[in-house]
Chain A
Amino acid sequence: MKLLILIGLVLLIIAAHQLMRVVELSREFKKTKEWHITDSDNSFNGKLMLFIGGFGLIGFLFWQINRWADNSLPGAASVHGLKIDTLWDYNMYLIIVVFVLTNAVLFWFAYKYAGKKGVKATFLAHDNRLEMAWTIAPAVVLAGIIIFGLKYWNEITERSTDPNKVTIELYAKQFDWTARYAGKDKVLGSTDYRQIDGGNSVGLDTLDATGYDDILVKIEFHIPVNREIEFKMRSRDVIHSAYMPHFRAQMNCVPGMVTEFKFTPNKTTAEMRKDPYVIQLMAGINEARAKKGDEPIEFDYILLCNKICGSGHFNMPMTIVVESEKEYNAWLAKQKAVKTIETK
């Protein structure tokens, strides 16, 4: 078999070589050189510029929007996230308009001014008014983008001052997450990485009594709706990133530092599951799962790792459950405080 393939390949190369010889010999007799750009080359490529470049590229965008836009994340499930979504939409409309107009003009010119023999191009070296116009126009638009962007950015990143907030620590390591709640005393115990061992996975400082009632959970953590959640992020080993896409929340977890991100969830998991957009999204997902022979699933908020952290980077999920204050308190009451730590 391999021999046959080899013989076939050799024959193919010989045939290609003979063909090239014929082409090379025939071009000796031609007056025009192969590389000369003819009017028909220009007209052919000009048309392709219009149809593939212009209609094709712009059409491709809308084809994709039609096909895939409904796979996008549902509307934000947090208060600040709704603002991000609004800003996102305005920016997106703007760049789609710029994309369409600029590419349309580019490929239209590429088609319209495809070269013809005897035509002379217009000698136009510069035009100060035009150049001023397209310096000032982007500057004005960008000023708007900067002002709105920074206004929201400052609101999102200012330190939490809400007395009613819930503080949760997200602790990342290769390759899973631990969420830590403060417990009854509402204070997160201090930590020391040197004290990490099998029974003390997040490195609680055994001399700090405020940590004794802390609650550690894995795989799934719960948060109450409509209350500000302040996350403190830490990492045990390498940089991770806590990405909670449905809440428009993300922050790196950096060894040696405590980073922060806060948001107020405004839709419970149950409410989200009844959202019409989410219903159609999940229908699409479950259809794809059925094809693979997998069980249907229900919508859940997720936490993922979004900074390359090693071989298990792709597999660091944690489920987030948003529920009413009452349900949350009931859940929290069932969790056990850290008891495995030996007190000195």
Chain B
Amino acid sequence: MANVQSVDVKLQVSEHDHAHDHDEHEESFVSKYIFSLDHKMISRQFLLTAIIMAVVAMTMSIVFRMQLAWPGEKFAFINAMVGDKWGKDGILDPNMYLALVTIHGTIMVFFVLTGGLSGTFANLLIPYQVGARDMASGFLNMLSYWFFFVSSVIMLGSLFIDDGPASGGWTIYPPLSALPEAMPGSKLGMTLWLISMTLFVVSSLLGGINYIVTIINLRTKGMKMTRMPLTMWAILITAILGVLSFPVLVSCVVLLICDRSLGTSFYLSDIYIGGRPLDNVGGSPVLFEHLFWFLGHPEVYIVLLPALGITSEIISTNSRKPIFGYRAMIGSMLAIGFLSFIVWGHHMFLTGMNPFLGSVFVFTTLLIAIPSAVKAFNYITTLWKGNIQYTPAMLFSIGLVSSFVTGGVTGIILADSTLDINVHDTYFVVAHFHIVMGLSAIFGMFAGVYHWFPKMFLRMMNKKLGYLHFWLTFICAYGVFFPMHFLGLAGVPRRYYTNSNFPLFDNLVDINEIVTVFAIVAALAQFIFIFNFFYSIFRGEKSPQNPWNSNTLEWTTPMANIHGNWPGSLPVVHRWAYDYSKPGAEHDFIPQTVPLADGENDGGGH
């Protein structure tokens, strides 16, 4: 099948060449901007959708952070955001609180950091960096975006229904999510959540298969696997993880739909709710948890790996040095990818799962710290004796290394089942995953946008606004998530509408207030980015062909979004992507298309 597709694309491509030889290729508005088959346009579509989704999810977080810092206070803002039904007099309803944390998590994890991050950068970079005219199948690629779009619309639509959106947490554990009697969000809202996520998985699979096929089959001449930029390796491994794990989420969701609608008992047993015993016997919610986390844990790396790939590229380029330990970086990503499939049980130490099974997961989970440590040290060594160019992208990349370490070390605590007992499901966990996964991935995404903006929109973003955006975001992000560790140490559970019902938590009010103030400033800081982004699309300075003096192939394409990417024949690759500051070279970068000189070694030898 893969081969058929690649042949298909080659045929398409020769047609494009033909068109360029004679006349400009005429395109209608619909085929250019809406149902586009072009990877660059699809990438921009993913990015714009993700930005909109991110603003929604961020606004939600401000609403529930205000509730947590000042419970019982009346805010016109809350009333304006959730309306009279859920925010009467400006006080948030407890069910809406749960709905907001649920949809915030769902949107950030799936729609922004999976669909948005992979969708944007896999689509933009794969054909550019492997030297292909387009993705293996432009049509599947278009379908991938439109499934993503429909699933986003359904997810947002669920916010406006009468009973409110899904509210059982982004992990939607049954029976809470299975029984409409359990909470209002488990009525129509949960149905829409399940439909939306199923479509999302379809989108993710169509995209993922396409990414894998393109990287494996459509590399240009000379682009050996071991010459690929690390972004390509990261996206390849991410796509493989997605293709192997997302279908399990679908099976998990389909069984839940059966339990909800068809009276089956996969996850339900011995339940008395709404004043009557249910007929369901023999199922187990623990089965759901296994299926969910079989996706859920690789998902963490689906979110993180593209960010790590993007920043590897940016840190090397802007340190003007080869990435340190190219092969070790690939090896650690492969190890992380493999291990990510056998660690899911660390989310389930206290679910009633056999404790011996827990021990196995402790072992595999702590193993994953080794390749992660290797990656962090390799990043740091790349900076050593570099000539660091502080583009906004570089700032965010260094921010990622910091958050990857800061959030990563607490993972060592949580992976240890013995220590997990007392901090499981507390704010310690919230702090951990927001820093290691949320911040790192979003920093990677910002880095990618700042770095490849010239390729996407042919113009430059404003540097000074980028600096301001980074420093405010960096300070506020740590200001939001670092103090949460201390809430966890005091034993505060997550997903509590308010802590004021437990007098023992009364001394923690100032932590919650500090967190919320940082969150509000951080949210406002994002509007600097949004302004810079949209302003620069239309009025930014025109970009030269290779603004960052980078080696990879995308910077050899002309500064125009043309079909087929390169006007003439495809470039031929002669070296790896990291020949920065090579001794004896005239410039401090040697693009991949430059042939090796006599006696010159490829891949870091010199």
Residues of A within 8 A of B (CB): 20, 24, 27, 33-37, 41-42, 44-46, 48-49, 52-53, 56-57, 60-61, 64, 68-69, 71-73, 81, 83-84, 87-88, 91-92, 94-95, 98-99, 102-103, 105-107, 109-110, 113-116, 119-127, 130-131, 134-135, 138-139, 142, 145-146, 149-150, 152-154, 156-158, 174, 193-194, 196, 203, 236-239, 241, 243, 245-246, 248-252, 254-257, 259, 281, 284-285, 287-289, 292, 294, 297, 299-300, 302, 304-315, 317
Contacts and interface: CB of A to CB of B under 8 A. Distances in A.
A123 B582 contact: yes
Which of B176, B421, B509 is the most central at the interface, judged by chain A CB atoms within 10 Å of its CB?
B421
Given A113-B383, A124-B322, A142-B369, A312 B94 contact: yes
Contacts of B282: 256
Interface stretch (B41-49, B133-141, B404-412): B404-412
B395 interface: yes
Interface of B: 94-95, 98, 168-169, 173-176, 179, 182-183, 268-273, 277, 281-286, 319-322, 324-328, 350-352, 355, 358-359, 362-363, 366-367, 369-370, 373-374, 376-381, 383-391, 395, 398, 401-402, 405-406, 409-410, 412-413, 416-419, 421-422, 424-426, 460-464, 467, 471, 474-475, 478-479, 482-483, 485-486, 489-491, 493, 495-499, 501-504, 506-509, 511, 535, 539, 541, 547, 578, 580-583, 588, 603-606
A68 B483 contact: yes
A194 B269 CA distance: 11
Contact of A311 (B95, B499, B503): B95
Given A149-B419, A308-B168, A125 B326 contact: yes
9 contacts: A34-B463, A88-B419, A95-B409, A107-B398, A126-B604, A150-B417, A237-B182, A238-B173, A317-B501
Contacts of B606: 123
A97 B463 CA distance: 35
Given A88-B413, A236-B271, A152 B398 contact: no
A115 B320 contact: yes
A56 B490 CA distance: 24
Given A102-B405, A146-B362, A34 B319 contact: no
A254 B351 contact: yes
Nearest to A134: B377
Given A52-B475, A64-B482, A110-B388, A103 B406 contact: yes
- Sort A-B residue pairs by CB-CB distance and give the 7 closest, nearest first: A125-B604, A256-B269, A245-B491, A157-B355, A45-B390, A95-B409, A314-B496
B509 A313 contact: no
A252 B405 CA distance: 30
Contacts of B417: 149-150, 153
B418 to A, nearest CB: 4
A87 B381 contact: no
B497 to A, nearest CB: 4
Which of B285, B362, B461 is the most central at the interface, judged by chain A CB atoms within 10 Å of its CB?
B285
A130 B381 contact: yes
B387 A105 contact: no
Contact of A34 (B380, B402, B541): B541
A105 B583 CA distance: 26
Which of B326, B379, B388, B606 is the most central at the interface, judged by chain A CB atoms within 10 Å of its CB?
B388
Contacts of B379: 106
B383 A131 contact: no
Contacts of B508: 71
B380 A106 contact: yes
B322 A138 contact: no
Contacts of A115: 320, 386-390
A222 to B, nearest CB: 19
Contact of B581 (A53, A84, A120, A314): A120
Which of A34, A124, A297 is the most central at the interface, judged by chain B CB atoms within 10 Å of its CB?
A124
Given A35-B462, A35-B463, A149-B416, A56 B475 contact: yes
B580 A84 contact: no
Given A81-B422, A95-B409, A142-B367, 7 more contacts: A34-B460, A84-B418, A125-B605, A156-B418, A281-B507, A313-B496, A314-B496
Contacts of B490: 71-73
A250 B416 contact: no
A113 B384 CA distance: 7
Contact of A102 (B98, B273, B380, B495): B380
B322 to A, nearest CB: 5
A106 B405 contact: yes
A105 B495 CA distance: 36
Given A34-B463, A106-B401, A115-B389, A315 B501 contact: yes
Contact of A239 (B175, B369, B462, B493): B175
A16 B262 CA distance: 58
A122 B493 contact: no
Which of A44, A193, A307 is the most central at the interface, judged by chain B CB atoms within 10 Å of its CB?
A307
Contact of B320 (A84, A121, A157, A251): A121
Which of A60, A292, A314 is the most central at the interface, judged by chain B CB atoms within 10 Å of its CB?
A314
B578 to A, nearest CB: 7
Contacts of A145: 366, 412, 416
B350 A37 contact: no
A87 B420 CA distance: 11
Contact of B402 (A107, A114, A120): A107
Given A56-B475, A119-B387, A241-B350, A310 B421 contact: no
B402 A57 contact: yes
A145 B483 CA distance: 25
A314 B362 contact: no
A46 B504 contact: no
Nearest to A76: B422
A133 to B, nearest CB: 9
Contacts of B418: 83-84, 87, 149-150, 152-153, 156
Contacts of B406: 57, 99, 103
A24 B542 CA distance: 12
A313 B502 contact: no
Nearest to B463: A35
Contacts of A157: 355, 358
B493 A73 contact: no
A250 B388 contact: no
A318 to B, nearest CB: 11
Contacts of B463: 34-37, 41
A294 B503 contact: yes
A24 to B, nearest CB: 7
A261 to B, nearest CB: 8
A250 B460 contact: no
Given A193-B277, A285-B507, A313-B495, A255 B580 contact: no
B471 A48 contact: yes
Contacts of B419: 84, 87-88, 91, 149
A236 B144 CA distance: 42
